[in-house]
Amino acid sequence: MLIGGRRSDLFISALFLSKSSKPIMEKRRRARINQSLVQLKALILHALHADVSRHSKLEKAEILEMTVKHLRSVQRAQAAGESRTKTHNRKQIRK
């Protein structure tokens, strides 16, 4: 134990600092999320060849929905390409 209750003073100071840093950490987390959404919006609009001026006010949910839809179509296209490649390879082997 420290003289004059210094241990409890240190505990209270540490508790205060951890509580006061939570809003700052939350603000930084939100800023990171928002920055990533801005980048995602630019990437998805470019990938879809969409007019950026028409989509200047997309909501966060819309950006995420567009991205999911696009990624699913890319996956389907890749799967279709892989199955065509396998079919082509089988035909080559039979010749």
- Integer Cα distance of 32 and 44 in angstroms: 18
Q: Are 36 and 54 a contacting pair, CB within 8 Å?
A: no
pTM over 0.85: no
The domains of the chain, with CATH numbers, are 3-94 (4.10.280.10)
Q: Please, what sign has the CA dihedral across residues 31, 36, 41, 43? A: positive
Q: CB 65: neighbour CB atoms within 10 A? A: 13
Please name the residues in contact with 60: beta carbons below 8 A apart, sequence gap of 6 or more.
37
Per-residue pLDDT of the chain (95 residues; tens, 9 = 90+): 445 556 667 666 666 666 677 888 999 999 999 999 999 999 999 999 998 888 889 999 999 999 999 999 999 999 998 877 666 666 656 55
Reading the block at residue 28, the tokens are: 């930084």
